[in-house]
Structure 1
């Protein structure tokens, strides 16, 4: 604690007043401007107490210096000469409180109040700093992920969309406040809207697959996972949806299915026997010609070893053939 007081008896008076209130602290006493400035520059104090009238110095100047060099430190005037108008003016200029010397019993509550206010102010600063860091953290994540992230209100209107939405639907500014279901394919829209309302009602996020129908008529296949955001009372305030464009995968799967279907169509109509085995040598496909040649229906031979089709005296050639086929892929 830093105490600016030129009168030693008044300094003892203040110290005893604090002790009577159960406040014990290490007090550094200074008596003039030079020693006061040196103390401010030298160390950090939890509280500054100052007389208002100091020979060659004054309380207003002391307050101004404190606000410049230690702006977070609470400042209390303890004076017998300060008037009400001056006291009010010092509060406007940043003093935490003032106590008249003939009302020294008010010093203890004033000090506790000042320290409590400082603690609360510091907690608020920490909370604001933490919030800024979280906002920045979220911003950096949202700007660098390829997934589509949207925050909707309980009516389904967009409050936030990540930058990844821009390539599909537009910027966050363009989408803000718009219907979150407008671009969903008409055949999927009501199903997804129903899942949204279920999430709002139960608080349980839903997985979904649907399609976006874009302005140019193209279709994008989307997979999404919903979740809820709750307010400080635990009530659901928003819905967050993380989605992924899986169009390339869906098209690749469709192409593979079509290719397999073409193969099976050819295999079914082929006059030659076609038998397909996996890397372990077990039968996975068998066409009609193979059934006619070997006398077994496909369901009878699936998962059986391909080696069963060969007579035992061809074991050596059979094994070499299987090894060659496996190595060749």
Structure 2
């Protein structure tokens, strides 16, 4: 309404005298009115403006040529029935004045009395304002009534009026209320009692009391039911209507079926908790804010590391409201970047230094994006800050080391050969020149095959093909080669793809080294490792030998001492024998008395009873020592460097004997050997080392299981058998078992689960190399946590080699 009174007033003036018009306009403006003035003097223009504009006042001179009498007033009323019309004209008769007022003029002023125009205009403007306001109110009221009617019928909630007594009745309601209770019309709803739609009628009574006491309630959850008994959760907001006596006449209310909403709210709460938990698991600061810059969410890394305040102090605040935590200059920078993103929605990335809450200056990569509401409008910004401090520092170091790396590559003691996808040599480093005996200038630019390297080209190109197809490096171990001057050797190579720009293969790189000396030394290493194992077993072996030697020594001491007494008897017999030889007659009575005395003194009966078992025990002890010595000799024999036909059962038995002191305290070894197992071609010494490693590992696993209380008695079971051309050895224990997460690393070099100083992680890798690479066999395991592990060795038999066409064993 204020706009109607304050706006510029539109005046349409029908006047053929410009001087009179100027006088009028001057008076009006000097009186303080803000006007939009339109002057017309001809009928066509007059009608045109009436058609296009809605003036606030029309001022008419009845003497304008082209019009007859009150015609200008009648024309104006055809277009605008309620606009005030003021006649401002020269002298006319009384009849004309009366006709003008009858035609619809609001006032009549003679030009001689033009001073009256200001108060007349004020009244006209006021009346016009009242008319316009009334028209607007009537229009709004009509529109409101129509909307209200439609709203009631189309609202997705129920609107009702009920009585206050019990049982209660519905006085009125919209159709949605009826539908909510499973009815098809409001008339049906008016026929039932209010209590009929409560799961518990007492709940209605309690609600009535609450409404009466509070006069108005909002969003009260009530357990209701449809007419067919189907339960649902309703939300009721209601108020009382009081009569002149202050008594409650009826209750008006709104009801909504919130069953699904309650379920959705529960889900939303669950999702919200999940979302917050998910954000907190991200190890980078994450935040999101609305389009006004207010933070509406963040994870703990943002609140703790970046801001240094609890989430509750951050949410619903802008950068500048967090001035205690964010420096003003930094807030300006963030605001500037946010504005750019909101003006150009999409992805925004930039890097910036941030002083974190712990005082450290870190360099962050900001990855920002807008998010949108359900209508597709930009609703705010979400961002993640990635700490790239270390990455930037590393990048600087990388740039700094590029030249050094280039020099290093050229000076590496490894073969580096680059080949393009067109099989053209592109790189040939000095070490390749040295090992292969070919100069870089003689091979770069040539086809790789034309380099005349004397090696197995079939294997080389097979590896290159696999490298190209699989897009990953391929290893070539023990590739024999020969230089131009006849020098032979062994290479270890790897063929690696050169991929740039995603999936574009530009060639491949061959890296290699001369492993000739390494292979020569490996046999020595195997022997060294075996001797190291012998050294570790030395104390146990000494103990095993010392025990039988001890009771051999004790028995010999007993026999020696006993023999001293026997010598007394012998001396007495020799004395009598000497007299008899000299023809002297001995005193046999005295002799026998002395003999009996000596026999009693030396306990001859005891000696005669104990010496035979003592000799037997001493012999058994020497036999046991001999067996241990023979086992050590067989175990530690360096071999001939060639495979020989070996009695696997005997070899395992020797290894068990040698390692007895390692397992006897925690385990019992059970041997289940196939007596018909044929001789197997192998390197006996190295096979013994593998079995020793497996026995020691089994013993360690059992010891650990006993310490943890998993088992009371340890068992190591070793079996041999023949399966499909293989001699099979199984070493089983009832120890702890191998955890699932480390099973794929068991044969990795230097991998160990033992404490420092108790294991090098070399036992199983060496064992795997011996069985798989040197014997073309298999070594694998089966394990179950808490029940134990079985290692399986499979060695090819003689017939297998013959079938494979291998003549050299």
Taking structure 1 as the reference length, the TM-score comes to: 0.52
2: CA distance between counterparts of 1:208 and 1:110? 63
Aligned counterpart for 1:115 among listed residues 111, 125, 129: 125
Q: Which runs of 5+ in 1 are unaligned?
A: 231-236, 251-310, 320-329
Q: Does 1:224 align with 2:239?
A: no
Q: Does 1:164 align with 2:179?
A: no
Question: Could you tell me how far 1:124 is from its partner in structure 2?
Answer: 4.6
Superposed, which structure 2 residues align to 1:15-30 within 5 Å? 15=25, 17-19=27-29, 21-23=31-33, 25-30=35-40
Report Cα offsets for 1:210-256 as digits up to 9, x if no partner: 43574xx74654412315599xxxxxx98432221749x99xxxxxx
Corresponding position of 1:39: 49
Superposed, which structure 2 residues align to 1:1-329 within 5 Å? 1-8=11-18, 10-12=20-22, 14-15=24-25, 17-19=27-29, 21-23=31-33, 25-41=35-51, 43=53, 45-58=55-68, 60-70=70-80, 73-79=83-89, 80-81=91-92, 85-91=98-104, 95=105, 97-101=106-110, 103-127=113-137, 143=153, 146-150=156-160, 161-167=173-179, 168=181, 169=183, 171-172=185-186, 181=194, 183-185=196-198, 186-200=201-215, 203-205=216-218, 207-211=220-224, 214=227, 218=229, 220-227=231-238, 239-244=252-257, 246=259
2: CA distance between counterparts of 1:318 and 1:179? 70
2: CA distance between counterparts of 1:160 and 1:108? 56
2: CA distance between counterparts of 1:105 and 1:238? 62
* Pair 1:75–1:53, CA change in 2 (3 A): same
1: CA distance between counterparts of 2:164 and 2:60? 55
Please give the secondary structure, in 1, of the residue aligned with 2:16. Answer: coil
Question: Could you tell me how far 1:85 is from its partner in structure 2?
Answer: 4.3
* Pair 1:213–1:140, CA change in 2 (3 A): closer
Question: Could you tell me how far 1:5 is from its partner in structure 2?
Answer: 2.3
Report Cα offsets for 1:250-305 as digits up to 9, x if no partner: 9xxxxxxxxxxxxxxxxxxxxxxxxxxxxxxxxxxxxxxxxxxxxxxxxxxxxxxx
1: CA distance between counterparts of 2:70 and 2:44? 15
* Pair 1:205–1:48, CA change in 2 (3 A): same
For the Cα contact (< 8 Å) 1:32–1:56, is it kept in 2?
Answer: yes
Question: Could you tell me how far 1:48 is from its partner in structure 2?
Answer: 1.6
1: CA distance between counterparts of 2:152 and 2:210? 24
Relative contact order, higher structure (CA 8 A, sep 6+): 1
1: CA distance between counterparts of 2:120 and 2:153? 49
* Pair 1:99–1:24, CA change in 2 (3 A): farther
Please give the secondary structure, in 1, of the residue aligned with 2:218. Answer: coil
Corresponding position of 1:274: none
Larger Rg: 2
Taking structure 2 as the reference length, the TM-score comes to: 0.25
1: CA distance between counterparts of 2:69 and 2:196? 67
2: CA distance between counterparts of 1:37 and 1:180? 66
For the Cα contact (< 8 Å) 1:151–1:239, is it kept in 2?
Answer: yes
1: CA distance between counterparts of 2:233 and 2:58? 62
Question: Could you tell me how far 1:33 is from its partner in structure 2?
Answer: 2.0
2: CA distance between counterparts of 1:226 and 1:318? 63
Report Cα offsets for 1:83-138 as digits up to 9, x if no partner: 564354234xxx5x213225533321222233334344444555555566666666
Number of residue equivalences:
243
For the Cα contact (< 8 Å) 1:48–1:73, is it kept in 2?
Answer: yes
Q: Which runs of 5+ in 2 are unaligned?
A: 1-10, 242-249, 264-708, 711-735, 741-783, 787-809
Corresponding position of 2:475: none
For the Cα contact (< 8 Å) 1:181–1:193, is it kept in 2?
Answer: no
2: CA distance between counterparts of 1:99 and 1:20? 22
For the Cα contact (< 8 Å) 1:5–1:11, is it kept in 2?
Answer: yes
For the Cα contact (< 8 Å) 2:160–2:254, is it kept in 1?
Answer: yes
Question: Could you tell me how far 1:187 is from its partner in structure 2?
Answer: 3.6
